[in-house]
Every structure is written in C-alpha cells, then in structure tokens.
Amino acid sequence: MPPDRGTRTAVQIDPAHRARYRRIIRFSAAALAQTWWFELVLPRLGLRRLAARSRPKRVQRIARRFYLLAADLGGLMIKVGQCLSSRLDILPPEITRELEGLQDEVEPELFESIRQQTEAELGMPLELAFASFEPVPIAAASLGQAHRARLTSGIAADVGFENVVVKVQRPGIESIVAVDLAALRRVARWLSKVKIVSTRADAPALVEEFAATSLEEIDYLHEAASAERFAENFANDPRIGAPAIVWDRSALRVLTLSDVTAIKISDIAGLTAAGIDPAEVAQELARSTFQQIFVTGFFHADPHPGNIFITPGTPSSGSRPGDGPGDGPGDGTDWRLTYVDFGMMGEISDSLRSGLRDFILAAVARDGRALVASLERLGVLLKTADTNELERAMTALFDRFGGMGVAELQTIDPRELEKFARGFGETIRSLPFQLPENFLLLVRSISLISGVTSALSKDFNMWDAADPFARTVLNANSGNVLRGISQQAVTY
C-alpha cells in the first residue's frame, strides 16, 4: 500500500523548516504511490507489460524531479542525491545517471553571517582572530564555505606559516540537517514495509549509515582530527602532503588550515608547464590510494580533482607536508600530492582489509570464481544471490576486457561495448546485494581515483598499478602474486 500520509513523526521539527520537511515528504509520498501503482497494482490487473514498458522513463522522471528538488533545497538533500547516484547496487541506471551531475555548488552566505558565526565560535572579533580575512569565499557548498585569511604574527610564529584557508559552517545548517534526516528516516520506515524494496535493501540501516557520515561532515573538529591522522600516516612519505591544522583558530563550526593551494591535479596544461609528467602523477596517485586502503586502513573518500593538488618543489627539502610549495628547483622531478578536505573519510577493519586483499588478487588474476568467493566473504552478496550467474558474468568480463587500458577500450566497436555493458549490468542489478557504508565509500573513492588517473593518462590501468602493490602487500607471505593466485586456485 502507499504510505500513510497522516502518519506523525515523534521528531520535533523546527517551525522555521516545516515547509522544507513537508516538501521532502510530499515528494517521497508521491514517488512511492506512483511506484506502488505501476509495480504492484497494474501487474495484478494483467498490465505487467505496460508497467515494464513505462518503467525506464518513469523512474527517470522521478529522478529528475528529485534532482530539481535537491538543487532547490540544498543542505543535506544535495548529499542525498550524490549518494544515490553512486548506489549502483540498489538503484537502476535511469536514476543513478540522472543524479550524476548534481553538484554541491550554491550561492555563498552573506559575509556578515559568516563573520558572526566565526566570531561566536572563536570567541573573539574577527580582526583579533586574523590579520586579514577575505570576505569573498573561494568556494561555497551546501554545508559551509571557505575563505582565505592571514594569521596574526604571534600565531603565525607558533605554527610556522601565515596564509590559511578558513572553513566556516553555514549558520543554521545543523537544524536543516536534523530536519532532512527526520524526513529521510520517515521515508525509510515506509520503504521497510514495501516488499519489493525491503527484499533488496535495508532502507532504515542505509539512512542511519548516511546520517552518521553526514553528522561527521558538520563536525569540523572531527575533520581536523582526520586531517592530522591522515598526515601522520604519511609522515615518512615525502610524496604525500596534507594541510596543517591551526587548532587555536578552529572550533566545532570553524576550521583553519594552512593554505596549500597549488596545481589542480586535473590541470594537465599546468602540470606540463611545470615539467611534471601526468602519467607519473597517475602512478603516484594510484600508489597512495592502495597505501591508504591496504596499509593504513584509513582513506580519503572524496578524492575528486578539486581535493587534490600537485605541489611543485623538493619533497626532501625539509618542508612540512601541507605548508605549501617546497624550496626545490621546480624542474618537474620533485613534487608531491597534497590532499585537502577530510570531512568524508573511510576506515577499513582488519577483516574487511583481508577480504579486499582476496578481491584484488582475484581481479589481478582475472579469476571470476575467486572474485565471487571474495564478495561472499565480504558479506556483500545476500543469501539469495545467484553466485553461479555472477561468476559467469565476471569470467566473461575478464575474458573479453581484462588487462585493457582506456586507450585499448576505445578501439573496440562501441556497439559491442554497449551490448556487453547492458547484459552485464542486468546481471549485476538482478543480484540481491547491498554495500555497507564504508564499502560504498571505498567504491566511491576508487571510482573517483580511476577517473582522475584515466584523465591524466589514457593508457593507465588501475589494476596494473595494483599488481606491484599486491606483490608486497596483498601477498607478503609468499612474496609473489602468482604464487598467491595459484594457492587460491587450489582453494577454490
């Protein structure tokens, strides 16, 4: 049955945001009612073909309406749309593709509001907190915005740098997040009572995982701690940097970091002009990604091009990671990857890391059977999944496209690629599986890194980059990937 629109939630809604709450609920109720009619009622009336024929355009229209709603409301709804666009495990491509372009770019908050927020958090006038503070933000998103500033001489002497970036949370965003989460929880309760949904996904659990991640994103002290943890993990790696935290000018809703702005990793022309080989950058980016996943177990979950800079200079010159460009000659031989924005991080438990080692070994070996077995051990596949069908699909994928880089894939007839992708996608979507939040963050991270590395070098292959890493990390006991693969072949 469609949701009961008269149901009352026990959560107290801020009167200032009741209209927002109702818009989210009305949209969700209408979408669920339409789905109920087409997917449950019409088939019982003998109109199953009509429902199936109209499904692609119908769900695409729903996704488009949500896109417009999220773009208009901002706040957490943009994050919801971005999250949904990556849920290939539970949503059809008509929805994920429609939401792919949802960008977290909004009009900046008035500077006076930012001033008041900053002064309230730091407990002092802005003129005392900073030597200067640029009123025009360098970036504005749904949850906060960033401004350039200069530290006062005393603080600058203590930390060793003067130029900083100050992230300030949008005033009142916490109450907006609370309203959005209340609406999402109500919708999740509805979905948990719809069989065609509940057999595919645990909606309440998904919302709670999303809520936990979202609440961490608006806790700037948590982000500061994550940035320092990331920097400590790479303290002995001169190729990897992160901004330094100015704790004396940071609080729950204000975060001050060293300004590490440099060449954006997507600026191929800028890299080339600096004498830096983009292909080498791609290799180093892949290495640092696998280092985060398999060694430290703590990874950057939002490594899009805007969050990674290439800092020219000499990594070994003694400059601290995150303090800006080094003092080297800038001849292209010395540079480092500098990560920023640590609001979205993922963590990998020992058991998950072990399962992922098996997954990577299977992928490197292009072994469909071993790959499916690793997915089962990871707990990704539900009990009703047809593992034989998945194994056949993965084996076919490896047989046809295994080992190919982007350049090689471009030589294949597009019609063949489209036909294969359609069949493979249908197989994957037919399987009941649901990714845990940290696994989803991992998939998101690898997907973004894969896109960045491909843009840097068309011939680059992420799995080829994993092979030497696998030799030392994934199969350290044997000292040889091939030996590890043969051991697995015997096991399976």
State how far the Cα of 395 lies from the Cα of 162, in Å rounded to an integer: 55
- Which of 293, 217, 336, 289 is closest to 451 using CA atoms? 289
- pLDDT tens-digit readout, 96-148: 888 877 776 778 999 999 999 999 999 999 999 999 999 999 999 889 999 99
Tracing tokens 């920023």 back to the chain, one arrives at 340
Q: Could you give the angle at which helices 48-73 and 18-36 cross, rounded to 10 degrees? A: 170
Residue 459 pLDDT grade (very low, low, confident, very high; cuts 50, 70, 90): confident
Least confident of 276-285, 346-355, 411-420, 470-479: 470-479
pLDDT tops 70 at residue 477? no
Q: Give the count of beta carbons closer than 10 Å to the beta carbon of residue 113.
A: 14
CA dist 265 → 270, 275, 450, 463 (Å): 9, 14, 13, 20
Least confident of 55-69, 194-208, 249-263, 341-355: 194-208
- 177-191: average pLDDT: 93
Q: Is 185 or 464 the better-scoring residue by pLDDT?
A: 185
Least confident of 170-184, 264-278, 390-404: 390-404
pLDDT given for residue 421 in this prediction? 55
- 458-482: average pLDDT: 61
Do the Cβ atoms of 488 and 362 come closer than 8 Å?
yes
- Which of 396, 384, 408 is closest to 460 using CA atoms? 408
Residue 483 pLDDT grade (very low, low, confident, very high; cuts 50, 70, 90): very low
Residue 482 pLDDT grade (very low, low, confident, very high; cuts 50, 70, 90): very low
State how far the Cα of 303 lies from the Cα of 284, in Å rounded to an integer: 14
Helix (H) or strand (E) holding 61: helix 48-73
State how far the Cα of 10 lies from the Cα of 47, in Å rounded to an integer: 39
- Which of 360, 388, 391, 368 is closest to 469 using CA atoms? 360
- pLDDT tens-digit readout, 195-246: 777 766 778 888 998 899 899 999 999 999 999 999 999 999 999 999 999 9
State how far the Cα of 464 lies from the Cα of 477, in Å rounded to an integer: 21
- Which of 350, 354, 363 is closest to 485 using CA atoms? 363
State how far the Cα of 273 lies from the Cα of 480, in Å rounded to an integer: 39
Cα dihedral sign, 182-29-85-291: positive
Pairing of strands 254-258, 144-151: unpaired
CA dist 416 → 58, 89, 398 (Å): 27, 24, 15
At residue 378, what is the residue type?
A: L
Listed in sequence order, the residues at least 6 apart from 77 whose beta carbon sits closer than 8 Å to its beta carbon are 24, 69, 70, 180
Residue 293 pLDDT grade (very low, low, confident, very high; cuts 50, 70, 90): confident
CA 427 to chain centre: 25
Helix (H) or strand (E) holding 190: helix 173-191
Do the Cβ atoms of 285 and 337 come closer than 8 Å?
yes
Residue 179 pLDDT grade (very low, low, confident, very high; cuts 50, 70, 90): very high
Residue 422: burial class (beta carbons within 10 Å; 0-12, 13-18, 19+): exposed
In DSSP terms, which residues pair with 433 in a beta bridge? 381
- 326-353: average pLDDT: 77
At residue 436, what is the residue type?
A: P
State how far the Cα of 77 lies from the Cα of 312, in Å rounded to an integer: 37
Least confident of 191-205, 255-269, 279-293, 318-332: 318-332
- SS3 at position 166: strand
At residue 21, what is the residue type?
A: Y
State how far the Cα of 359 lies from the Cα of 143, in Å rounded to an integer: 35
Q: Is 448 or 251 the better-scoring residue by pLDDT?
A: 251
- pLDDT tens-digit readout, 196-210: 777 667 788 889 988
Mean pLDDT of the chain: 81
386 torsion bin: left (phi>0), alpha (psi -120 to 50), beta (else): beta
State how far the Cα of 82 lies from the Cα of 7, in Å rounded to an integer: 28
Tokens (6 digits) for 161: 């740098």
Least confident of 85-89, 299-303, 466-470: 466-470
pLDDT given for residue 251 in this prediction? 98
Residue 414 pLDDT grade (very low, low, confident, very high; cuts 50, 70, 90): low
Least confident of 36-45, 88-97, 388-397: 388-397
Q: What is the pTM of this model?
A: 0.76
State how far the Cα of 440 lies from the Cα of 426, in Å rounded to an integer: 20
Do the Cβ atoms of 214 and 207 come closer than 8 Å?
no
CA 184 to chain centre: 20
pLDDT tops 80 at residue 173? yes
Do the Cβ atoms of 106 and 141 come closer than 8 Å?
yes
State how far the Cα of 356 lies from the Cα of 335, in Å rounded to an integer: 30
DSSP 3-21: --TT---SSPPPGGGHHHH
Top-confidence range, 14-18, 297-301, 333-337: 297-301
Q: Give the count of beta carbons closer than 10 Å to the beta carbon of residue 489.
A: 12
- SS3 at position 335: strand
- pLDDT tens-digit readout, 24-55: 999 999 999 998 898 888 888 888 888 888 88
